[in-house]
Structure 1
Amino acid sequence: MHSFILFTTSDFGHMAAEYLFDHYEVKAVVTSTPKPKGRHFKLEDINTVKKAKEKDIPIIYIEKSSQIYEKIKDIKVDYFLVVDFAFILKKNVLDLPLKYPINIHPSILPKYRGPSPLHFQIIDNVKKTGISLIKMNEFVDSGDILFQLTFELDEWYTFSKFYDLMQYYTSFAFEIFVKNIELFYPQNQDEKMATYTRKIEKKDAFIDFQNEDASIVVGKIKAFEKWPKVKLKIEDDLLVLLDAKIDENINIKSGYLSVKEEGIFIGCKDKTISILKLQKAGKNQQNIMEFLNGYRKRFYEKKIDMEPIL
C-alpha cells in the first residue's frame, strides 16, 4: 500500500482527502495552526483535519515554511499530496518522499498557474476546464504533468458553485490517478502556453462600470461572490451584487444604474447587465424579484457614483 503525507490548509480538497484516508496509509497531515474564530475566539480545525483526527492520523501544525523540513524529515513516505496549501515547499522538502510530491491544481495547466485559478477562470468565462496532477518542483505550478482530467462547462458559474464543482472533480481525478499511479509518466508543461493568476485583493471588487466591458463586469460579480464582493449603493442602501448576466434586450447608458419593475440593470462600456442575485447589508441573500417586491422605489435611474466601496 502506498503511503502519503497530506499538505493542506483549506477544505477545498476534503473529498480527495477522505478518499485518501479510507484507502491508503496517511502518516501525517501538515496544516496551518488554527486561528481563533467566533465571539469566543475558539481554535477550530478545518474539516479535513477533523476527519484525520477521527482516523488517528498525526497532525503537524506549522506557522511558516521554514518549520516544515524539521517536522517531517524523519517520516518515510512514498508520496506527498499537496492540495491548496498556503506555504511554499522548498526543494529540501520536495526531495523527501521516496517517490515524488504530487500537487493537485484546479485548471488545465499550464493555464492559470498561481493562487487564484478559480477566480480568473470565472472572470474569463472559460468553456473548458480541468484538474491537473503534477510532479512538484520548486517553481509555481510548473512541474511535469502526471494526469489531467478535462471537462466542458455548461454554464457561467458563480464562485461558490464553481468551487463545489471543482472539489468534486478534484476527488474524481485523484481517485483515477492514484488507482493507476504506476501507469502515469510525467510530461513537460509547455512554458510558452503558461498564464499566471495573482492573489485576489479587496480593491479588485471595485468596478468601473462605465469603462469595463459587460463580460468582465459579470465575471467579476460571479468570481467575487464570496470575497471581496462587488458592492453598489442605491440611494441609502448598500448592496452586494452576487450574480448577474448580460442582457441583450435592455440598453442602459454606460455608467448608469436603472431600477425597473422587471429588474435592476447597469450600463457597462459595451452592453447592459442584469442583476440576478444580491444582498442588502445585514440581510439574507435575495434573487432580484424578492428584492424588488420589498423595494420602496420601483422606478429609478441615475449615474453610478464611481467612488470605491470597500
Structure 2
Amino acid sequence: MKRIVFMGTPDFSVPILHALSETDYEIVLVVTQPDRPVGRKKVITPPPVKVAAEQLNIPVFQPEKLRENYQVILDYKPDIIVTAAYGQLLPNDLLETPEFGCINVHASLLPELRGGAPIHYAIIQGKEETGVTIMYMAEKLDAGDIISQRRISIEHDDHAGSLHDKLSELGKDLLLDTLPELFKNNIEATPQDETKATFASNINRADEKINWENSHIDVYNQIRGLHPWPVAFTKYNNKTMKIWWAQLDEKTYDCQPGEIVDVVDEEAIIVGCGNQKAIRITELQPAGKKRMTTKEFLLGYSDQIKMGTKMGETI
C-alpha cells in the first residue's frame, strides 16, 4: 500500500483529499497552513483541509514555515507527496526524498497562469478554456515537468466560484487517473516551455478596483473573475460600492467611462465603459450595507443614483 502525505489548505483541496481517502492508498499525514484569524472579528479558524482531515481521522501537521520545519513529514516515510493549493514552496529535501517524488494539482494549463490565483485570472483575462495540470514539483514556483493535463471550457456565465468547483472536481478525477500509471512508472513527464509561462499572482486590492476606461467585456470579466471573492468594487459618491454581479449591454452609448446612463425596469443600473458599450449592474453592496439586488437597492436608495453622474471618481 502506497503511503501518501497530502498537502493542501483551501476548499479547492478538500474534494481531492476525500477522493484519495476512498482509495486503497494510505494517507499517513495531512500538511496544511496554520489556523488563521478570519473575518472582521478575527476569529481563529482552521483551514478547510484541516477540518476534513480531522473528520477522516488523519494526523495533521501545520508548520508556520515549512522550510524550517519539515522533519515530521520525512518521519512518516511517504512514497509520494501530493499537494493541491498548499500555499508554501517545498524545500529540496522534501522534493527529493519520496520514491515517486512530489506532485502538485494546479488549476491551470501550465505553463500558463503559474501562481496563487489561476482560477480568477483565467476569467479576468477572458480565456475560453482552462484546466488542471498535474506536475512534478520543483523549487521554482509551478515550474516542474508536466505529468498530465485535462481541459475544460469556461462558460460565458462562469465566475471564480463556479469554475473553482469545476476545476477541483476535474483535479480530483485527473489525479485518480494519473496515480496508478505513475506508480507503475508509466509516466513520461514533459518539461514546461518557459517562453510560454504566464503568471497569476495573488489578487490584491488594486486588482479589485474597476477601471471604467476598459471595455465592457473586460469589466464584465473582472466582475465575474472576482465573484464571489474577493469581489470587484468601484467608488460612487466618495464611498466604496462592491459590484457583485453584472451583465453585458451591447448597445452603443454616447457616454463617458463610468457614467450612469440608465436604470432599466428598476432592476439594473447601466454604466458606460471605455468602448461606448456598457454593463448592467444587477447585484451590489453599498458601503456599510449588505449585499443586495439592484432592485432592492433602488427601493431604498434611488435618490442616490443620478443619470449622468460617474462611478469610479472621487469628488
Q: TM-score, normalised by structure 1?
A: 0.89
Structure 2 gap segments, 5+ residues each: none
1:184 aligns with 2:190: no
Secondary structure at the residue paired with 1:12? helix
Secondary structure of the residue that 1:217 maps to in structure 2?
helix
Residue 287 of structure 1 corresponds to 293
Partner of 1:16: 16
Are the counterparts in 2 of residues 122 and 156 from structure 1 also a CA contact under 8 Å? no
| Conserved? CA contact 2:236–2:310, under 8 Å | no
- Corresponding letter in the other structure for 1:175: L
Pairwise CA distance, 1:156: 3.8
Question: Letter of the aligned partner of 1:20 in structure 2?
Answer: L
Q: Is the 8 A contact 2:9 2:86 kept in 1?
A: yes
Report the Cα offset of residue 112 of structure 1. 0.7
CA distance in 2, matches of 1:117, 1:267: 28
* Identity of matched residues, %: 26
Do the aligned partners of residues 12 and 261 (structure 1) sit closer, same or farther apart at CA in structure 2, a change above 3 Å counting? same
Alpha-carbon contact 1:252-1:265 (below 8 Å) kept: no
1:296 aligned residue: 302
Give the 3-state SS of the residue equivalent to 1:19 in structure 2: helix
CA contact (8 A) 2:131 2:152 kept: yes
**TM-score of the two chains, using structure 2 as the length reference:** 0.88
- The question of whether the paired residues in 1 share the 8 Å contact of 2:14 and 2:49 is answered with yes
Q: 1:51 to 1:165 in 2, by over 3 A?
A: same
What SS class does the counterpart of residue 302 from structure 1 fall into?
coil
Deviates most, 106-115 or 284-293: 284-293
CA 1:275/1:66 → structure 2, altered by over 3 Å: closer, same or farther?
same
How far apart, CA to CA, are the structure 2 residues paired with 1:258 and 1:234?
14
Between 140-149 and 250-259, the greater mean CA deviation after superposition: 250-259
Per-residue CA distance 1:237-285 (angstroms, 9 max, x = gap): 7531012233112525132123413321111111212213222345443
**Which residue of 259, 265, 270 maps to 2:270?**
265
Secondary structure class of the residue paired with 1:164: helix
SS in 2 for 1:192: helix
Query: Residue 163 of structure 2 aligns to a residue in which SS?
Result: helix
Matched residue, 2:202: 199
1:4–1:77 contact (8 Å) kept in structure 2: yes
Provide the rounded CA distance (Å) in 2 between the counterparts of 1:56 and 1:94: 26
Amino acid at match of 1:129: T
In structure 2, the CA distance between the partners of 1:281 and 1:75, relative to structure 1 (3 Å rule), is same
Alignment CA distance shift 1:39-1:299 (3 Å): closer
Task: Name the amino acid aligned to 1:126.
Answer: K
Residue-pair matches, total: 307
Q: Is the 1:266–1:272 Cα contact (8 Å) retained in structure 2?
A: yes
SS state of the match for residue 296, structure 1? helix
Name the residue aligned to 2:255. Answer: 253
1:80 is aligned to: 81
- Cα gap change, 1:214/1:75 in structure 2, threshold over 3 Å: closer, same or farther? same
- Kept after mapping to 2: 8 A contact 1:260/1:299: no
More moved, 60-69 vs 273-282:
273-282
- Which residue of the partner structure matches residue 215 of structure 2? 213
- Aligned counterparts of 1:224 and 1:240: Cα–Cα separation in 2: 11
Counterpart secondary structure, 1:306: coil
Task: Name the Cα RMSD after superposition.
Answer: 2.4
